């Protein structure tokens, strides 16, 4: 080891010791006779002083140092002179009086420095990620991520889980997300797929008797990106045998409490609250509601039916809903311009036909450009239903059930943030349970599995498989943190007959099922235990625990929205010979 200490380590008790530091030049202050160097590594910063006593050549050498040069500095630790202590630095009481200075490597003038106050654009930071990763804020993310993964591994290890790796090169299954494909050289015209999750393998492991499996698994989905979605991401994946949903939820409750305590010093009350899917949709229009604040949805469909206002009555009469929420005391926040923006938002993003609103006046009456379409008695009823008080602002969407959910959930989230309805440091953990088994795919006129086709229905709902698929609920559970889906799992079908029934409902015939999941169906016939599990999104955990609003900040080498890597410039071209070996020919864009 070239160094004896790190740059974050030196304190008053090290005074008079001869030490050697290695690190990057964070900044220099050249006074001619003396040069001050802030030397940085991932542990902190120390001031290194090249003073005249050390000799002219050393001072001259120090004066030529520039940002991000890598140096070795050897010398004596000394107390700083009175009045020059820097209390912004943990090492600020002392300094290293250098006697030997070695330049281990020069740096080109960097496009940005880790210490600069104006953060450069994200594209530049990603292009020079090796510089960006030197920034303390990014290091905080990498540190937190490492701590979270370690805590998770410790926790599951203590609970007798076995860490087992599953293949990355697997078989494509057309359900779910688009697969990333890998061509096979050996098998002409055939492809592997990268896993969207280790789902089937972990079920096989249960059949094989490894009754507690866990893995930190890379997963791949070739879908469009978002602030909280990357094409490759990491899951803490686990599966257990002989358990029901409560067992899995209880286990994760314990993990969440431990992570909150260890990493945030926060006490979380257990069990975590649970919300049924139907209730979540009714109260928040959202299957991952942000419970850090209220502003719940209120149904006024029955009142709307009595209104002259055609938009309201029409939605109510045609099987839709009229729902809204009350932005308490916020009437002053909504200029016409802002309301127009919000109207555009629900129209553009969720297909709502419009956004109705009322301002609650000083005398308690509701005022709105549309209020002349309502009788006074009806307005009073709306007002009572919405618990309206002077200064409140009411918003309503009249549309299909689906659109009222999406539009009001989006609006509620947006206004929750804009009106600062919650403490940014607050953490709220909860479960959403009792998801429907199926959702109807309007486009293809068929049922789809809401979670995946191996999900078990609730025991009391099994009979509904024959009668009414729509009302059949699954043994599924999602972990929600601050309105983000941070994890999700199910109890699986371990009964072959039931599994086949579900396949039939999903329109997957015997032959297709055999072709795609034959190995699972076969395994289920050789003594498959009841089993279930969950996968937690590690990137999102880091993002939420660390207070970032962007998953890229929590990944060492993330991809841009168009799924490219600005540093390596992946994806890139390959040689024609490589393609030839794989029997692949690309089609020019013009011929598509």
Partner RNA sequence: GGGGCCGUAGCUCAAUUGGUUAGAGUACCGGACUGUCGAUCCGGUGGUUGGGGGUUCGAGUCCCCUCGGCCUCGCCA
Pick from 227, 426, 570, 574: which binds RNA (CB under 7 A)? 227
Q: Select 30 or 244, whichever has its Cβ closest to RNA.
A: 30
Question: Where does residue 556 rank: exposed (0-12), middle (13-18), buried (19+ CB within 10 A)?
Answer: exposed
**3-state class (DSSP) for residue 512:** helix
Pick from 34, 70, 264, 276: which binds RNA (CB under 7 A)? 34
Q: Select 31 or 150, whichever has its Cβ closest to RNA.
A: 31
CB of 520 to RNA, least distance (A): 12
CB of 575 to RNA, least distance (A): 21
Pick from 136, 351, 369, 571: which binds RNA (CB under 7 A)? 351
CB of 312 to RNA, least distance (A): 24
Query: Rule CB under 7 A: which of 291-330 touch RNA?
Result: none
Pick from 213, 309, 350, 357: which binds RNA (CB under 7 A)? 350
| Cβ count within 10 A of residue 299 | 15
Binding to RNA by residue 66, rule CB under 7 A?
A: yes
Query: Rule CB under 7 A: which of 169-198 touch RNA?
Result: 175-178, 196-197
Query: Rule CB under 7 A: which of 41-60 touch RNA?
Result: 47, 49, 51-52
Phi-psi domain of 9 (left: phi exceeds 0; alpha: psi -120 through 50; beta: other): alpha
Pick from 2, 11, 84, 136: which binds RNA (CB under 7 A)? 84
CB of 462 to RNA, least distance (A): 19
CB of 501 to RNA, least distance (A): 17
Binding to RNA by residue 354, rule CB under 7 A?
A: no
Measure CA of the first residue to CA of the last residue in the chain; give whole Å.
Answer: 58
CB of 278 to RNA, least distance (A): 18
Pick from 163, 349, 466, 510: which binds RNA (CB under 7 A)? 349
d(CA 55, CA 517): 76
Cβ–Cβ < 8 Å for 313, 399: no
- Count of residues near RNA by CB under 7 A: 73
Binding to RNA by residue 234, rule CB under 7 A?
A: no
CB of 126 to RNA, least distance (A): 7
Binding to RNA by residue 85, rule CB under 7 A?
A: yes
CB of 385 to RNA, least distance (A): 28
Q: Select 117 or 586, whichever has its Cβ closest to RNA.
A: 117
d(CA 294, CA 296): 5
Pick from 44, 120, 183, 354: which binds RNA (CB under 7 A)? 120
CB of 285 to RNA, least distance (A): 12
Q: Select 66 or 159, whichever has its Cβ closest to RNA.
A: 66
Query: Rule CB under 7 A: which of 446-505 touch RNA?
Result: 448-453
Distance of CA 11 to the CA centre of its chain: 39
Query: Rule CB under 7 A: which of 237-296 touch RNA?
Result: none
Q: Which residue has the tokens 């070695």?
A: 102
Pick from 137, 223, 467, 515: which binds RNA (CB under 7 A)? 223
Q: Which stretch binds RNA (CB under 7 A): 249-257, 358-366, 426-434, 560-568?
A: 560-568
Q: Select 346 or 388, whichever has its Cβ closest to RNA.
A: 346
Q: Which stretch binds RNA (CB under 7 A): 24-32, 266-274, 309-317, 418-426?
A: 24-32
Q: Which stretch binds RNA (CB under 7 A): 83-91, 143-151, 160-168, 242-250?
A: 83-91
Closest CA to 101 of 50, 150, 139: 50
Cβ–Cβ < 8 Å for 93, 80: yes
Pick from 41, 95, 253, 399: which binds RNA (CB under 7 A)? 95
Cβ–Cβ < 8 Å for 323, 302: no
Q: What are the Cα distances from residue 256, in Å, to 36, 249, 263, 425, 486?
A: 46, 10, 10, 16, 11
Closest CA to 25 of 148, 137, 107: 107
Query: Rule CB under 7 A: which of 530-559 touch RNA?
Result: 550, 552
Query: Rule CB under 7 A: which of 377-406 touch RNA?
Result: 406
> To which H or E segment does residue 153 belong?
helix 136-158
As given in the structure block, the two tokens for residue 422 are 């919650």
Q: Considering just the CA atoms, what is the radius of gyration of the chain in Å?
A: 30
CB of 172 to RNA, least distance (A): 12
Q: Which residue has the tokens 């009437």?
A: 331
Cβ–Cβ < 8 Å for 370, 378: no
Q: Which stretch binds RNA (CB under 7 A): 109-117, 354-362, 461-469, 512-520?
A: 109-117
Query: Rule CB under 7 A: which of 407-436 touch RNA?
Result: 410
d(CA 528, CA 239): 13
| Cβ count within 10 A of residue 375 | 12
Cβ–Cβ < 8 Å for 231, 529: no
Binding to RNA by residue 5, rule CB under 7 A?
A: no
**Three-state SS across 247-294?**
HHHHHHHHHHHHHHHHHHCCCCCCCCCEEEHHHHHHHHCCCCCCCCCC
Question: CA 496, 498, 501, 505 torsion: positive or negative?
Answer: negative
Q: Residue 226 gets which letter from DSSP?
A: B
Pick from 11, 31, 185, 218: which binds RNA (CB under 7 A)? 31
36 beta partners: 29, 49
């Amino acid at each position: 080891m070239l160094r004896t200490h790190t740059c974050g380590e030196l304190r008053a008790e090290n005074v008079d010791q001869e030490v050697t530091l290695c690190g990057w030049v964070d900044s220099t202050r050249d006074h001619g006779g003396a040069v001050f160097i802030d030397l940085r590594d991932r542990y902190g910063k120390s001031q290194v002083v090249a003073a005249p006593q050390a000799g002219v050549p050393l001072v001259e050498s120090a004066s030529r140092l520039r940002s991000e040069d890598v140096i070795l500095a050897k010398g004596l630790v000394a107390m700083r002179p009175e009045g020059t202590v820097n209390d912004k630095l943990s090492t600020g009481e002392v300094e290293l009086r250098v006697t030997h200075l070695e330049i281990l490597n020069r740096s080109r003038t960097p496009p940005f420095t880790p210490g600069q106050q104006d953060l450069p654009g994200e594209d530049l930071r990603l292009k020079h990620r090796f510089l960006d990763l030197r920034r303390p804020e990014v290091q905080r993310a990498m540190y937190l991520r490492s701590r979270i993964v370690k805590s998770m591994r410790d926790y599951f290890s203590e609970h007798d889980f076995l860490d087992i790796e599953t293949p990355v090169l697997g078989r494509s299954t057309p359900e779910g997300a688009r697969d990333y494909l890998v061509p096979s050289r050996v098998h002409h015209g055939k492809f592997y797929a990268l896993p969207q999750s280790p789902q089937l393998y972990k079920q096989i492991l249960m059949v094989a008797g490894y009754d507690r499996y866990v893995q930190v698994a890379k997963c791949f989905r070739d879908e469009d990106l978002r602030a909280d979605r990357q094409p490759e991401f990491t899951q803490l994946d686990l599966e257990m045998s002989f358990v029901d949903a409560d067992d899995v939820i209880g286990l994760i409750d314990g993990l969440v409490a431990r992570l909150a305590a260890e990493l945030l010093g926060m006490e979380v009350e257990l069990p975590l609250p649970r919300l049924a899917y139907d209730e979540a949709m009714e109260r928040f229009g959202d299957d991952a509601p942000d419970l850090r604040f209220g502003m719940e949805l209120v149904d006024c469909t029955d009142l709307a039916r009595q209104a002259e206002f055609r938009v309201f009555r029409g939605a109510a009469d045609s099987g839709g809903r009229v729902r809204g929420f009350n932005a308490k005391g916020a009437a002053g926040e909504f200029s016409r311009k802002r309301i127009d923006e919000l109207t555009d938002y629900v129209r553009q993003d969720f297909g709502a036909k419009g956004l109705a609103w009322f301002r609650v006046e000083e005398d308690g009456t509701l005022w709105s450009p549309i209020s002349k379409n309502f009788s006074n008695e009806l307005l009073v009823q709306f007002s009572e239903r919405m618990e309206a008080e002077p200064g409140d602002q009411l918003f309503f969407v009249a549309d299909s059930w689906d659109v009222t959910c999406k539009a009001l959930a989006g609006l509620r989230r947006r206004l929750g943030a804009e009106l600062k309805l919650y403490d940014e440091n607050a953490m709220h953990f909860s479960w959403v349970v009792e998801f429907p088994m199926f959702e109807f795919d309007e486009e293809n006129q068929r049922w789809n599995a809401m979670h995946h086709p191996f999900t078990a229905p609730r025991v009391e709902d099994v009979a509904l498989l024959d009668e009414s698929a729509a009302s059949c609920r699954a043994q599924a559970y999602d972990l929600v943190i601050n309105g983000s889906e941070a994890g999700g799992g199910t109890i699986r079908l371990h009964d072959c007959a039931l599994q086949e029934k579900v396949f039939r409902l999903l329109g997957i015939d015997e032959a297709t099922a055999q072709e795609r999941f034959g190995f699972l169906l076969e395994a289920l016939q050789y003594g498959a235990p009841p089993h279930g599990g969950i996968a937690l999104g590690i990137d999102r955990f880091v993002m939420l625990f660390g207070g970032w609003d962007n998953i890229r900040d929590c990944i060492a080498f993330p991809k841009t929205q168009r799924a490219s890597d600005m540093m390596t410039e992946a994806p890139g071209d390959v040689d024609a010979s490589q393609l030839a070996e794989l029997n692949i020919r690309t089609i020019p864009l013009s011929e598509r």
